[in-house]
Structure 1
Amino acid sequence: MRLTDVTLREGGQMPGRSYTADQKVAAGCELDRLGVSVIQVGFPITGEEDREATRRLAAETDAAIEGIARAVPGDIDAVAEADADRIDVFAPLSAGQLEHVMDKEYGEMLEIIDDAIDHVREYGLPMTLTLMDAFRTDPARLIEAFERFSYPAHLGLADTVGARTPGYVESLLEDLSSGGVDLSRAGVHFHEDLGVGTANTLTAAEMGVGKADLSVANLGERAGNAALEEVVVADALAGESALDVEADELIPVCLEVLEILAEDVDPRKAVLGGEVTSHEAGIHTAAMLEEPSVFEPFDPAEFGGRRDLVFGEGTGRGGARKLIERAGGEPTDEQVSRLLDRLAEAGPLDGTEATELAAEVLDG
């Protein structure tokens, strides 16, 4: 499955955000290190910052640089004039969006999309057609779209408001496949409004979709998008290796992107948060000194991160014994008690500091 990173575009649409061209270029170059296929920079029709960032990144990255556009000639022109490598044109076919957003009839919208595709073809740009609100669109309309629109390499199916769950995603994709749709030509774009965007993406991957939109740390409108780092780690744990990325720099790259964009990361954020790979509970640390995997789902080092074992007031007797053994001693009950007292006073300490303290206890 190919990945399109939408951090720069979706993150920039969050309230109060205004990423500069320099920020987007610096963050985009970091994302390029991961080997994602496409980096979606922004919406060139909206202003010079997005046009400049698109132009500069297209000249610097191995990843294809993508701009988005409505099915409107001026939007498409702006993407092409910004020297983007490819374009994502978005338009709805759902009854609700056609009536309340576009004020268009279904047949009229199909013709508008036809014209937009013809306009893109004049530029020779590789293209994705993203169908907004696709997961609330009549499946028959989606099947017709795949049959009618042959030029776009992928038709993106967007859960625009994050309204669906994995069971529905699987059911809809099964309906499309039964209707003759080659799911390798489908892309997906999920939001986290119900907290299942990542799960939806993984479900779609298992069904054979060819492309997914993801963002670092869920950055994106409202609750954000499916998280790049979560999908990559989950894929690796499943042993699928089905993603087109190099994962060994995943965590440092994501954290660097967040720093460049001046975005915070919650310490308990899955994969990226500092507390996710920190352990202090006595039972945990005692066991993890021997075998870390017993209390963690993945080795953070595989993704460029690290684990932190923290010792202090919460350290139990088993952990204290392990520390004394690591310091070269054979622990006695009295030494364990003294070390626990010292840890309660000096902690929290990392593993090296705690081992040094254990050595002091051994020395008397």
Structure 2
Amino acid sequence: MLNDLKILDTTLRDGEQTPGVLITSNEKLRIASKLDELGVDVIEAGSAITSKDEQKSIKTITENKLNAEICSFARPMKIDIDTALDCDVDSIHLVIPSSDLHIDYKLRKTREQVEEMAVNATEYAKSHGLIVELSTEDATRTGMDDLKHLYNQCIEVGADRLCACDTVGILTPERSYEFYKELAQLPQPLSVHCHNDFGLAVANTLAALNAGAQQAHVTINGLGERAGNASCEELVMAIESLYNIKTGIKTELFYEISQLVERISGVTLQSNKAIVGSNAFAHESGIHADGVLKKSETYEPIKPETVGHRRRFILGKHVGKHVIHEKIKETNTQVTDDELNRIFERVKSLSDMGKTVTDVDLQAITDDILNIDMEDSLVLQEYTTVSGNKVTPTASVKVNINNSERIEAGVGVGPVDAAIEAIRKTIKDTADITLEEYHVDAITGGTDALIDVLVKLKYNDKVITARSTEPDIIMASVEAYLKGVNKILTDEKRR
């Protein structure tokens, strides 16, 4: 594996092709700016020919003079290249179908015709000052001789980089190594572009890099068509941690950019997603948690701070006393061994009933065992909300914070969002609290179902969880949020 590895991020092109994902011009700029800060070498900003809005998005990115090379996807057609030129990109990702399957059934052309298109498009793009990365679609189902012939023809007219795409993710790591090793003998730098249909995109990309490929195509969170593309964060951390090779990527930004892409794309990450999932550094088992508390390396391959993440201990059925004791101590509360045992039994009892024990639940149990009567710091006195198809969802609240009455209003994409925004405004001078996660479940059937809302709130470097169960989703959301806020404010009082 080469030490001068290049990263091409295609979150804004291949990632946006994830079913149901649409990223606006301003959102693309936010992601591109963060990718540039992350340190990727090339940002594939989209496909300029797609639409006027896509052209505007790409042009907005190129106008911001980022450090990364800005690239547009293009077919081997003059109109695609001209449109990319109008967006002032540095390069094009010129994609040519190469397998008999694609040439015969999709293009309905001869191989000679396709090769002529590729050569003409490469020559035209180079004559207009563009960097050309020639990419063969469905390369892994293309004969090696046919691939090399196409590449060599385009190299002769100036292709700068070559890319072989495992378009439907059929490689295995062993086959990937042999495939890319053969192509790495060509005179121009080789890129690897893997899809994750069998869950092997990152493994196949690593094998290709070990075989001589010099650039990897990736997306944040592994976004992409069908099962997605090779995940940027997984690939980079494997190279840095398992191969001990520095990539130049600012890995401490991974969690932040992952969260940004998740919010903008609307594609929720699975909790056990490697590196950036909510459970990537979460521990419930008593044995594991005890080991991590003593020395993190016992059950963590890397420190969460390396990727901008944080460690969490879950209060579930497998939790041990040491974790509960640590969480109680975080609030500057002291308990005896007997009190800790009683708290532990109450937590286990709740867990055995299938309930998620939140930080607020633990606080309530602890206060009850210790006979502490701590008044809520924030009390909701009045609440109204207005919502409708022709009305911007609006909420107004009157709250009492430490005997001081405050009234605020908020707007949002829905009544829940508006209500939480109104409450957030009332406490902005007291505590800067961020809603990190919001989860809703219906726990009974029918239109009168009980709604269970779980929220995660962040304050400074600490994340706390709270929940509420009500028949009304708005009130359940407001109550869960208030419980979380009060937990944070109460902890501050105790400190």
Q: Same fold (TM over 0.5)?
A: yes
Match of 2:318 in 1: 314
Distance 1:116 1:312 in 2: 59
| 1:160 corresponds to | 167
**For the Cα contact (< 8 Å) 2:169–2:196, is it kept in 1?**
yes
SS in 2 for 1:7: coil
Q: Which has the higher strand share?
A: 2
1:335 and 1:86 mapped to 2: Cα distance?
66
1:263 aligns with 2:300: no
Contact 1:37–1:244 (CA<8 Å) still a contact in 2? no
Shift of 1:175: 3.0
Asked if the contact 1:132–1:159 (Cα under 8 Å) also holds between the matched residues in 2, the reply is: yes
Match for 1:90: what amino acid? V
Report the AA paired with residue 190 of structure 1.
C
Query: Closer, same or farther in 2 for the Cα pair 1:113/1:291, shift >3 Å?
Result: same
The secondary structure found in structure 1 opposite 2:38 is coil
Q: 1:324 and 1:19, CA in 2 relative to 1: closer, same or farther beyond 3 A? A: closer
Tell me what 1:124 maps to: 129
Q: How far apart are residue 287 of structure 1 and its match?
A: 1.5
Q: Could you say which residue in structure 2 is the equivalent of 1:291?
A: 295
Counterpart contact for 1:30–1:257, Cα < 8 Å: no
Rounded Cα–Cα distance in structure 1 between residues aligned with 2:328 and 2:198: 47
Counterpart code for 1:28: A
Please say if residues 41 and 69 of structure 2, whose CA atoms lie closer than 8 Å, have aligned partners that are also in contact.
yes
The residue number in structure 2 matching 1:230 is 234
Task: Give yes or no for contact 2:313–2:323 (8 Å, CA) kept in 1.
Answer: no
1:245 to 223, 243, 249: 249
Which residue of structure 1 aligns with residue 176 of structure 2? 169
| Normalised TM-score (structure 1) | 0.88
2:105 alignment partner in structure 1: 100
Q: What is the CA distance between 1:174 and its match in structure 2?
A: 2.9
Change (3 A) 1:54 1:133: same
* Residue 83 (structure 1) aligns with: 88
Cα separation, 2, equivalents of 1:5 and 1:324: 43
Rounded Cα–Cα distance in structure 2 between residues aligned with 1:149 and 1:228: 29
Q: Cα–Cα, structure 1 residues 137 and 189, in superposed 2: closer, same or farther, change >3 Å? A: same
**C-alpha deviation, 1:348, in angstroms:** 3.5
Distance 1:125 1:300 in 2: 40
Output one character per residue of 1:83-140: Cα deviation in whole Å (capped at 9) or x when no partner. 1121111002221111111122222221111100111012111110001111111111
Structure 2 distance, partners of 1:313, 1:166, is: 38
Retained in 1: the 8 A contact 2:42–2:68?
A: yes
- SS class of match (1:276): coil
Q: Corresponding residue for 2:78?
A: 73
Aligned partner of 1:152: which letter? A
CA apart distance, 1:336: 5.1
Which amino acid in 2 is paired with 1:204?
A
TM-score by length of 2: 0.66
Shift of 1:213: 0.8
Aligned counterpart in structure 1 of residue 198 of structure 2, from 194, 197, 207? 194
Contact 1:58–1:64 under 8 Å retained in 2: no
Partner of residue 43, structure 1:
47
Q: Work out the CA distance in 1 between the residues paired with 2:312 and 2:323.
A: 14
In 2: Cα distance, 1:322 partner to 1:166 partner: 43
Q: Secondary structure at the match of 1:170?
A: helix
Aligned to 1:275: 279
Larger radius of gyration: 2
> How much has 1:330 moved relative to structure 2?
11
CA contact (8 A) 1:198 1:231 kept: yes
Structure 2 CA distance for aligned equivalents of residues 80 and 317 of structure 1: 63
CA distance in 1, matches of 2:328, 2:117: 73
Please show how residues 137-156 of structure 1 align to structure 2 within 5 Å. 137-150=142-155, 151-156=158-163
Match of 1:33 in 2: 37
What SS does the aligned partner of 2:94 have? strand
Shift of 1:344: 3.8
| SS across alignment from 2:14 | helix
Give the match for residue 492 of structure 2. Answer: none
Task: Give the AA of the match of 2:95.
Answer: F
Matched residue SS, 1:130 = strand
Q: Residue 150 of structure 2 aligns to which amino acid in structure 1?
A: A
> In the aligned structure 2, how far is the partner of 1:47 from the partner of 1:206?
38
2:117 paired with 1:112: yes
Counterpart mapping for 1:324-339 below 5 A: 334=338, 337-339=341-343
Q: Which runs of 5+ in 2 are unaligned?
A: 351-355, 373-495
| CA deviation vs aligned residue, 1:28-54 (integer Å, no higher than 9, x gap) | 112111010111111111111111111
Aligned-pair CA distance for 1:225: 0.6
Structure 1: segments with no counterpart, 5+ residues: none
Matches within 5 A, 1:54-73: 54-60=58-64, 61-73=66-78
Describe the SS at the equivalent of 2:244. Answer: coil
> 2 CA distance for matches of 1:357 and 1:293?
30
Q: What is the aligned length? A: 355
8 Å Cα contact 1:127/1:152 also seen in 2 = yes
